[in-house]
Structure 1
């Protein structure tokens, strides 16, 4: 396991009881509402907080074990940490901030490797500046570079976009995507923003009230309909891996493929064959008994009802089967409709229907290796 966490800790009103494993490189989102224990967990992994009980391992190396009285100092854990507010040293230049951890690492990176990180983050032109002359997005990129130049075994990101406006978020997200795709590094990403999770994460751990509710692939987790304690925070939907097939002659629409089904989205500006991750919210999916005509929605997909889940209120979550992709993986999308609509349409498991989705409600994100 890259990271294994099994800890308990009492802090204020929070009674933390967290257990999860991260088995592969990539981004694992630690997701949940404010006060659910996310920052407490990564502080424990980093060595900034000692849990009351439990065990934490990084690459099978115990960094904390209360029973065996193991509690490695933060610098010995080989962890990179990026805080919400960057926390750059104001009296140092960008270059001095970047190399602060590098000089103290017991496994310093080569100059070529450092240059690669600086180039990947696009901060080479900022080296002589002081932090007060940087934008919010630039500060976070420098903070990310500082953490990476320490040559960590894992990277912890504590809501690194929460203090940024949407423009600055859009500026830094492609760098996080590039980091995810280009470097074989386990990343634990704390967030309570479902759109960030859908775009960036490979895996997901859901927290509520200090407890681990569920964990797994982001493709599966965002389709879960049984995470009711996060109502208002957890927005059931679908994340689909798709491929760009073509575009319309005017270049305003991109046509994508998933499981043999065609998706129409606003033009992405990329060539055929480019991998794209789609995020479709369940509340944006309509169901029709017959293929509608004369409507503005561009996505009318033949699907099969796989499951009908009662939310305990006046809505139902419907799982719709798209088919199997080239890897043999079964792909589904989710729709949230009223019980009244389901009764009116006489929906049943196994029924063939049509999923209707407006193009403008689909979030399409190119993988960073094709940006």
Structure 2
């Protein structure tokens, strides 16, 4: 780290709303392969920041650097205004106020679930009181598991106990390294709602590593995109997922996110209308309070484009917008179109033939037909 890095760190020393991390390291994980990490990020110290990228992109290495588990690194780390690492200082892992949740639960097998939680309380600088313990147990839904040994727990239950144990150290930062990767699909779907409750119940910034698009769009507020050991983009989850120059999903996984508010319910058709700055969408009814906000994902493969509006169609959601960008898809027959709708952005994946026959180019006004949309949060 040069002097300009140190000055930048000093200039933001009083800011308690960001986490600054800059790390450089290199090593050879296997023969004929050399890996370098060169990361410079500034992320909010609230909500969930996802570290996203393909296997081998450096996600876990970055997380280990934040935790102080990597050796031989050049680094700078300031968390909520507190300096954890620079040229002159490098706090040991046990002196960093953080919780770490691994892919595997790594519970103490000879202790019950409650015993594992009590261990965390005992090692905390400020031991949790009974009210906080009860809150953690309720949020993670493990009240009925407290007397069980780890071998008696399902994979999802073990991971929820591990998360609760990390929370009970009352960390200033919670690190989660692909916590659902070792679970099968039913267990993964079982634990996702608990992670959402964790996010909304505790004022602890979470750095969440994953290569799974479905987890990111459901949980994350902010995203850092990793590729070949570098952060190539970072920002609000909706902004990043509406870009077509980033590896945030391919083919049928590609899609944009819009934040919506419920404005109408139709009991006859079991539908509700949700609004965002680009218009409104009809979706199947879900059990939410009136005027509640929803995160909706619109897959590019579920969007079609037209030069004129069509009322004689089964498609209920038709919006007007403008083409911002057109690029070739990885499949030669397909193209990706980025669309501006109000102040939001959507994506469409259409054939090159349709692109040419409709004369679709940047700046052209267009009607956007959305065949379906999924509520992800």
The answer to whether the superposition gives a TM-score over 0.5 is: yes
Alignment of 1:150-299 (within 5 A): 150-227=169-246, 232=250, 235-250=253-268, 252-259=270-277, 261-299=279-317
Count of residue correspondences: 355
Task: Using the TM superposition, give the Cα deviation of residue 309 of structure 1 relative to its aligned residue in structure 2, in angstroms.
Answer: 3.8
* Aligned residue in 2 for 1:62: 83
| Greater CA drift, 310-319 or 22-31 | 310-319
3-state SS of 1:36 partner: coil
For 1:128 and 1:234, the matched residues in 2 are separated by 44
For residue 333 of structure 1, the aligned residue among 343, 346, 349 is: 346
Residues 192, 267 of structure 1: CA spacing in aligned structure 2 closer, same or farther, 3 A cutoff? same
* Aligned residue in 2 for 1:20: 41
Residues 357, 211 of structure 1: CA spacing in aligned structure 2 closer, same or farther, 3 A cutoff? same
3-state SS of 1:71 partner: coil
2:57 corresponds to 1:36: yes
Task: Using the TM superposition, give the Cα deviation of residue 74 of structure 1 relative to its aligned residue in structure 2, in angstroms.
Answer: 1.4
CA contact (8 A) 1:241 1:277 kept: yes
* Aligned residue in 1 for 2:117: 98
Residues 250, 137 of structure 1: CA spacing in aligned structure 2 closer, same or farther, 3 A cutoff? farther
Task: Using the TM superposition, give the Cα deviation of residue 258 of structure 1 relative to its aligned residue in structure 2, in angstroms.
Answer: 1.2
2:375 corresponds to 1:364: yes
For 2:207 and 2:22, the matched residues in 1 are separated by 15
| Greater CA drift, 22-31 or 5-14 | 5-14
CA contact (8 A) 2:52 2:210 kept: yes
* Aligned residue in 2 for 1:342: 355
Residues 7, 162 of structure 1: CA spacing in aligned structure 2 closer, same or farther, 3 A cutoff? same
* Aligned residue in 2 for 1:326: none
Residues 260, 204 of structure 1: CA spacing in aligned structure 2 closer, same or farther, 3 A cutoff? closer
Q: State the TM-score, normalizing by the size of structure 2.
A: 0.88
Task: Using the TM superposition, give the Cα deviation of residue 48 of structure 1 relative to its aligned residue in structure 2, in angstroms.
Answer: 1.9
Task: Using the TM superposition, give the Cα deviation of residue 145 of structure 1 relative to its aligned residue in structure 2, in angstroms.
Answer: 0.3
Task: Using the TM superposition, give the Cα deviation of residue 136 of structure 1 relative to its aligned residue in structure 2, in angstroms.
Answer: 1.4
CA offsets 1:36-56 (integer angstroms, 9 cap, x no match): 111111112112222421222
CA contact (8 A) 1:44 1:51 kept: no
For residue 132 of structure 2, the aligned residue among 113, 116, 135 is: 113
* Aligned residue in 2 for 1:147: 166
CA contact (8 A) 1:32 1:233 kept: no
3-state SS of 1:88 partner: coil
CA contact (8 A) 1:246 1:271 kept: no
CA offsets 1:304-363 (integer angstroms, 9 cap, x no match): 22333455855433222222xxxxxx112121223332111012333332111222xx22
Residues 260, 282 of structure 1: CA spacing in aligned structure 2 closer, same or farther, 3 A cutoff? closer
CA contact (8 A) 2:329 2:336 kept: yes
Residues 192, 321 of structure 1: CA spacing in aligned structure 2 closer, same or farther, 3 A cutoff? same
* Aligned residue in 1 for 2:70: 49
Q: State the TM-score, normalizing by the size of structure 1.
A: 0.89
Root mean square deviation, CA, Å? 2.1
For 2:362 and 2:68, the matched residues in 1 are separated by 49
3-state SS of 1:343 partner: helix
CA contact (8 A) 1:50 1:71 kept: no
For 1:234 and 1:14, the matched residues in 2 are separated by 31
